[in-house]
Structure 1
Amino acid sequence: MSVKNLELYKSHILEYGFSVINGIFSDEEVERIIHVLEGIDTSKENFRKSEDLFAIRQFLKEIPEIKSLIFNDMIQRVIKEVFGEKYVVVKSIYFDKPETSNWYVAYHQDLTISVDKKVELQGFGPWTTKQNQFAVQPPLTILENIYTIRIHLDDTDENNGALKVIPGSHTKGIYRPETIDWTVETENICKVERGGIMLMKPLTLHGSNRTTNGKKRRVIHIEFSDSELPEQLNWSEKTH
């Protein structure tokens, strides 16, 4: 992958709010990641398990041995050259959408960040707390600076829950899904190959459909920011 190519992906995500780059992980690298995932104890409280979804919050904290497999040279280049020198991990989740999943997600923006505690701060709110984990909607400037990498461990298309996005919606501030004007907006299905990644700005309106082809969809979702929070508050998962 050349630097020239990365510039193309960078301009695409800035303009449209998303970009797909295939071939970031080899088959062997994907197999190593899956091997670690298959060996974990799934009974921990940060793990959510149902017929339709298995999820691990604070993924990189819970499974630290997987970090060296995820942050290969390619991913490190993407972070540095597409996002910026100062970007660090601030949130991580693992999703496993089983073959028979009826799980679907309506169009939405990712409007909250994970922090270490709840404090009253101007411009921060509303707050939610789940299992002693704190999430808050921060000022728009912080949300605008975040980038997400979604690492795909399976081929993903519209039949097993590939993300559908509304290009350019990340530039329109808080955009309520019920106000989407389909006479001006278009929908794009983000197909990603096994070992590929999808880059996204969290303000990009996105959703996913139910699985209809009997194939798994396993995704590692990692958010990055270069923003400093007010001194009373810390990112709950910030890693350097």
Structure 2
Amino acid sequence: MKAIEDLAGKGYTVLLEVFSIEAVQQMVDIIRLANRQGAAFRQTADLFAIRRVMAEIPALQQLVLTPALLDWVKTLGGKEHFLVKSIYFDKPGASNWFVAWHQDLTISVDRKHAVPHFGPWTVKQEQFAVQPPVEILENMITFRIHLDDTDENNGALKVIPGSHLKQVHRADTINRDEETICAVPAGSIMVMKPLLMHASGRTTNHRNRRVLHLEFSSMALPEPLQWAEYLPLNN
């Protein structure tokens, strides 16, 4: 299957039209009507984000974790995968927000505790994040559900295909000639490996870029660490 080959070789693939436009609008409406108070919500002129969005807005679970999406998680990740992180991002049309080249090197856990090969740590607003051993990152898979048509003009991800195969490495070692822009239509999903080198630019066409970012793993963490967010998948 091409999606499996692309994810393994390039570090990403795009799954087209997993959700209907009607389903996308339902997601947008539920998020818009949610109470935006609390530590999980972050709002600035350039970005609105909700951490642990599946827990903060439980009504999203039925709309997002559909049989079609869960089939793709099992196909591309594995039958034992479960949800370990969910974030909603909204980069407004007038936003100057951009993200420099990086890999996703940290996971969210429930506490800070000295565990061999875990570190460095960051703690923000009672959220604990740590860089785990590379085998945990290699096991993970990220689904980015796009709620808007996204291209190079409104912050679509730029990636270096195959960079996930180099494990952890510095952004200044990448070959920018290999840069690829991942345009994704609304209702479609960009699936990627956390070690894929990626970045995003500023919005230039005054259109939003709204994304539901879901991370899945099948690995338990060494005690006493636990995933900060855990949701088993039933299908």
User: Structure 2 length as normaliser, TM-score?
Assistant: 0.97
CA distance in 1 between counterparts of 2:230 and 2:152 reads 33
Work out whether 1:105 is the aligned partner of 2:99.
yes
1:173 CA drift (Å): 1.2
1:179 CA drift (Å): 2.2
Contact preservation (8 Å) 2:160, 2:174: no
Q: In the TM superposition, what are the counterparts of 1:83-232 in structure 2 within 5 Å?
A: 83-182=77-176, 186-232=178-224
CA distance in 2 between counterparts of 1:117 and 1:43 reads 23
1:89 CA drift (Å): 0.3
CA distance in 2 between counterparts of 1:50 and 1:235 reads 27
Q: In the TM superposition, what are the counterparts of 1:41-80 in structure 2 within 5 Å?
A: 41-80=35-74
Q: Secondary structure at the match of 1:234?
A: coil
Q: In the TM superposition, what are the counterparts of 1:28-47 in structure 2 within 5 Å?
A: 28-47=22-41
Q: Secondary structure at the match of 2:221?
A: coil
CA distance in 2 between counterparts of 1:162 and 1:142 reads 26
Letter in 1 for 2:76: V
CA RMSD for the aligned pairs?
Answer: 0.9
CA distance in 2 between counterparts of 1:50 and 1:151 reads 22
Q: Secondary structure at the match of 1:95?
A: strand
CA distance in 2 between counterparts of 1:160 and 1:43 reads 27
Q: Secondary structure at the match of 2:178?
A: coil
Q: Secondary structure at the match of 2:30?
A: helix
CA deviations over 1:35-59 (Å, ceiling 9, x no partner): 1011011122211100100001111
Identity %: 51
CA distance in 1 between counterparts of 2:202 and 2:218 reads 34
CA distance in 2 between counterparts of 1:54 and 1:205 reads 23
CA distance in 2 between counterparts of 1:140 and 1:126 reads 13
Letter in 1 for 2:199: G
1:205 CA drift (Å): 0.3
Counting matched residue pairs gives 232
CA distance in 2 between counterparts of 1:22 and 1:212 reads 24
Gaps of 5+ in 2: none
CA distance in 1 between counterparts of 2:56 and 2:226 reads 19
Q: Secondary structure at the match of 1:34?
A: helix
Work out whether 1:235 is the aligned partner of 2:230.
no
CA distance in 1 between counterparts of 2:170 and 2:187 reads 32
Letter in 2 for 1:86: E
